[in-house]
Amino acid sequence: MPTATLRRTPLYECHREAGGKLVPFAGWEMPVQYAGVIEEHRAVRQAAGLFDVSHMGQISVRGPGAERFLDRLTPNHVAKLAPGRAHYSGLLTDNGTYVDDLLVYKLGEEEFLLVVNASNQERDFEWVKRHAAGDAEVKDVSDRYALLALQGPQAVAILAPLTDVDLSTLKYYGFASGTVDGHRAIVSRTGYTGEDGFELYVDPEAAALLWKRLLETGAALGIQPAGLGARDTLRLEAGMALYGHELDETTTPLEAGLNWVVKLDKGEFVGSGALAAQQREGVPRKLVGFEVTGRGIAREGHTVQHDGSRVGQVTSGTWSPTLEKALGMAYVPTGLAAAGTEVEIDVRGRTVPAKLAGIPFYRRNR
Amino acid sequence: MYPSEYLYSREHEWVKVDEDVCTIGITHFAQEELGEVVFVELPEVGHAYDAMDEIGTIESVKAVAELYTPVAGEIVEINSAAVDDPAIVNDDPQGEGWLVKIRFSTDSDLKHLMNAEAYEKYVQEGAG
């Protein structure tokens, strides 16, 4: 049976050259691993990893009404962003549940860039455009950017010699326009691994050259190309949510523990009524971490039980290369959501004991 | 790469027959596909199974691979070294990384298995 053609990023050949194992992901052909998930994960924690995340979507929102529009559309406070700053936010339904999570970049007083999950690119664009209804100019600009993520304790040492951006003044969630190895770039101090690092927005034509230059420059410091497999284990250890797992159209930011994203006192936004009510009444369930204490690896979809009854479901689960144990996240009733609560997880028919834990599981040394 | 004295299944397991006992493990191809093995679940000694029953799992960070018994029989030994240190399944999948020994009563099930040459070809032709 013929499959739909998968899209390829500008780094496709680079992945093949690096021995990447390419798999379908959100309609793209992406590297799940190169040397191996565990090796790449450890490289990011100890040195640096280089990820191709060019498949992610970008939406431009411009005009004199752009800021106000975005403040009425999203839960975080856009008016408080200074140019050169970004924040983590969401697109929510009227019920306060997630259409997607995303980053909002303030490029200028009337110019914003939304960076969204690859799997939701088209839907998010339609969503934003429909809600804008003329208040702002909304364009899908995903084709304008390739995106490389350089993450790990050596990220600064590797990037600094190649860029005219002063990394020492670039704070977390800050970004600056400049060049990297002579190519124009937005250098953003953001990431999805729990390590220090940068996401580099570049022209698609420059991506492969930059990829190679970063691997060359960082070789002596231990840089490795890293795939989607390691990206998932890293973000899970760092307690970061993934759309389609911890976040979806049945979950609110309050249930997901993302209360800090929701600025109810800024005025109305899509979903604010529902979230205000939920805040008053209390959330019925909460996202928690867990560590498996028995033998087995709990994975997405496995049922969580307490005192013999089903209380929730694993949203993400894996074996953690840094902590060397099976862990994950799940939604459980608020009353059970305390660290230390003992539960059981049904791992393919076998009941395995686990203990609830706080998120994140891992924090980098600062 | 694939010892000629072993037999091989389409599920990428090798079988070494010693009279009425089979030793079973996963092949070099299987461990490479899986990646670094982090968890091994093996059956209990004494349990009886039918041919092609699932008797355990070998897990990497991203994948769960079922272990099947190619023959009907009773588990007589399991490799606890593989349980304690799953890395040996990657390091020596066809030797020290063996997984279970099963005593079988009829060798008719063995007829479904491939010899080394056929398995090598199976792998090269983009097997499952």
For chain B, the farthest-separated pair of C-alpha atoms sits apart, in whole angstroms, at: 38
CA-CA distance, A60 to B4, in Å (whole number)? 62
Q: Do the beta carbons of residue A101 and residue A118 sit within 8 Å?
A: no
Kindly tell me if the per-residue pLDDT of A1 is higher than 60: no
Q: Do the beta carbons of residue A32 and residue A23 sit within 8 Å?
A: yes
Question: Could you give phi then psi for residue A100, rounded to 5 degrees?
Answer: -170, 160
With 0-12 / 13-18 / 19 or more C-beta atoms within 10 angstroms meaning exposed / middle / buried, residue A65 is middle
Contact call for A348 and B57, based on CB within 8 A: yes
Q: What is the pLDDT of residue B106?
A: 84
Four-CA torsion A349, A352, A355, A357, nearest 10 degrees: -60
Domains of chain A, by residue range, sit at 12-54+145-237, 57-122, 284-357
A311-362 pLDDT, tens digit per residue, is 999 999 999 999 999 999 999 999 999 999 999 999 999 999 999 999 999 9
Test the A interface: residue of B61, B64, B84 with most A CBs within 10 Å: B61
The minimum CA-CA distance between A300 and chain B, rounded to whole Å, is 11
Contact call for B61 and A319, based on CB within 8 A: yes
Question: Could you give phi then psi for residue B87, rounded to 5 degrees?
Answer: -60, -25
Q: What percent of chain B has pLDDT over 70?
A: 98
Averaged pLDDT of chain A = 97
Query: Is residue B3 less than 8 Å (CB to CB) from chain A?
Result: no
Q: What is the rounded average pLDDT of the residues A212-235?
A: 98
Kindly tell me if the per-residue pLDDT of B127 is higher than 80: no
Q: What residue type is assigned to position A317 of the chain?
A: G
Q: What residue type is assigned to position B67 of the chain?
A: L
Which value does ipTM take for this structure? Answer: 0.90
A61-110 pLDDT, tens digit per residue, is 999 999 999 999 999 999 999 999 999 999 999 999 999 999 999 999 99
**Minimum-distance CB partner of B35 among A36, A297, A348:** A36
Kindly tell me if the per-residue pLDDT of B128 is higher than 70: no
Superfamily of domain A12-54+145-237 in CATH is Probable tRNA modification gtpase trme; domain 1 (3.30.1360.120)
Contact call for A33 and B41, based on CB within 8 A: no
Query: Is residue A274 less than 8 Å (CB to CB) from chain B?
Result: no
The minimum CA-CA distance between B36 and chain A, rounded to whole Å, is 7
Domains of chain B, by residue range, sit at 7-120
CA-CA distance, A339 to A182, in Å (whole number)? 49
Q: What is the pLDDT of residue A366?
A: 77
User: Which CATH number does A284-357 carry?
Assistant: 2.40.30.110
Q: What is the pLDDT of residue A365?
A: 84
CA-CA distance, A302 to A294, in Å (whole number)? 15
Q: Do the beta carbons of residue A183 and residue A159 sit within 8 Å?
A: no
Kindly tell me if the per-residue pLDDT of A176 is higher than 60: yes
Contact call for B64 and A32, based on CB within 8 A: no
Q: From the CA atom positions of chain B, what is the Rg in Å?
A: 13
Query: Which 8-state DSSP code applies to residue A302?
Result: P
Look at residue A157 and give its three-state secondary structure: helix
For chain A, the farthest-separated pair of C-alpha atoms sits apart, in whole angstroms, at: 61
Residues 6 or more apart whose CB falls under 8 angstroms from that of A17 comprise none
User: Which CATH number does A57-122 carry?
Assistant: 3.30.70.1400
**Minimum-distance CB partner of A297 among B35, B36, B39:** B39
Q: Which residues of B touch A229 (CB under 8 A)?
A: 61-62
Look at residue A351 and give its three-state secondary structure: strand
User: Which CATH number does B7-120 carry?
Assistant: 2.40.50.100
Q: Which residues of A touch B58 (CB under 8 A)?
A: none
